[in-house]
Structure 1
Amino acid sequence: MRIIGGEKRGLKLAEVGEGDARAHLRPTTDRVRESIFNLLVNGTHGNPIPGARVLDLFAGTGALGLEALSRGAARVAFVDDGTAARALLRQNIEKMRAMGVTDVWRRDATRMGPCRSAGYDLIFLDPPYGKGLGEQALASCLAEGWIAPGAMVVWEENAPPAVPAPLEQIDQRSYGDTVVTLARMPV
């Protein structure tokens, strides 16, 4: 895995191998990550990355949030309750030299609790596939104020998910066994 674009383009991230099934680590491939960021940067909905506050749920290795940092995001909060994931995430944050602009929270993404600051502008959601955890996490984030007006949600699943209101689906693409859904919070 590597950073695909931006200031840290080409930076090699910590190795996960084929992933860790026990820890539910299934890193987004470089190809899918590149496709996601091409959709964000070049899409008709406007580039949400520069200056964004990013929330990376089920963060795993943190590759999505770190890619956003490399491309101009202001700050990233990573959420994962897995010990193996957080260890890899911390290694990757050190490789990026991003300690001052990142937060790592050991938290269940399906029970976020109240947001104590402004909502986030860009949310990455890459739950373990087929378990309904993405729906639960978004319901929690919507109920507790984690998603700012106008925010973009990028959701990876193995099948097209049902995007909950008030989020509006704006795009959906398939890449092998991964379905990427883009949704926007109304302003």
Structure 2
Amino acid sequence: MVRIIAGARKGRVLAAPTGGTTRPTADRVRQALFDVLAHAPWGGAPLLEGAHVLDAFAGTGALGLEAMSRGAEHAVFFETDRPALAALRANIHACGWDEQCQTYPRDVTNPPAARVTPASLLFLDPPYHKGLPTRALAALKAKGWIAPNAVAVIETGRDEPLPFTDEAEGAPPCPHTLLAERQHGAARLSIWRLAWDKA
């Protein structure tokens, strides 16, 4: 069972498709992640309250909806799997955020041009071991989805190289700053300050 942990929709159970296609971020991992976002010197209320959020590889939308519950103003979700997309849209509706959230049934590595305010906070939880985070972020930046100095939270496999490091496949030569890194079981979370505009 996946539920929103804190904020305006605390305790809301989120629908999830059956089967193994979607891998929702575990509640304990989301709790640990949002504890970091809430209490880090670079995070806190300025990061979450009023934020424009982008949840790539969204699945049930648990990460983006958690951010909305904690004060984000708007969220965009990318998801291509039909059962996951149906669950995501049901979760948005159940939370009462139809006007504040948009879903795109598109491959986030080939997004359309952005027609909303660029995201200041991004979540990427792609399938592991496919080199997707750097490709997705580069594509989103090229199409105007990412605000200057945005923060990106990336979940990868514990044994994968960190994104944006020399050994990461497809890593662009960008001066992004690693703000925090945590390991939870088979997952590794890395949090970055994106800085293409400083390159």
Q: TM-score, normalised by structure 2?
A: 0.86
Determine if the alignment matches structure 1 residue 182 to structure 2 residue 159.
Answer: no
2:69 paired residue number: 70
Report the Cα distance in structure 1 between the residues aligned to 2:118 and 2:176, rounded to whole angstroms: 14
> Structure 1 residue 14: deviation in Å?
1.2
Deviates further, 115-124 or 52-61: 115-124
Q: Deviations over 1:52-94 (max 9, x none)?
A: 0000000000000000010000010011111111011011112
- After TM superposition, the structure 1 = structure 2 runs for residues 6-17 of structure 1, keeping only pairs within 5 Å, are 6-16=7-17
Among 173, 181, 185, the residue aligned to 2:182: 173
Aligned residue number for residue 35 of structure 2: 38
Give the whole-Å Cα distance in 1 for the aligned partners of 2:85 and 2:17.
12
Residue of structure 2 in register with 1:147 after alignment: 146
Partner SS for 2:77:
strand
Indicate conservation of the 8 Å contact 1:160/1:179, yes or no: no
Contact 1:119 1:148 in 2 (8 A): yes
- The equivalences for 1:49-128 within 5 A come to 49-128=48-127
Normalising by structure 1, report the TM-score: 0.92
Contact 2:61 2:77 in 1 (8 A): yes
- 1:78 match: secondary structure: strand
In 2, the alpha carbon distance for the partners of 1:41 and 1:86 equals: 28
What is the one-letter code of the residue matched to 1:112?
P
- Structure 1: which 5+ residue stretches go unaligned? none
Letter in 2 for 1:184: R
CA distance in 2, matches of 1:39, 1:167: 19
- 1:157 correspondence with 2:156: yes
Distance of 2:116 and 2:56 partners within structure 1? 17
How far is 1:16 from its partner? 4.1
Contact 1:113-1:140 within 8 A present in 2 as well = no
The Cα of 1:113 is off from its aligned counterpart by 3.4
CA distance in 2, matches of 1:60, 1:93: 12
How many residue pairs were aligned?
Answer: 183
Q: Distance in 2 between matches of 1:37 and 1:16?
A: 24
CA distance in 2, matches of 1:171, 1:89: 28
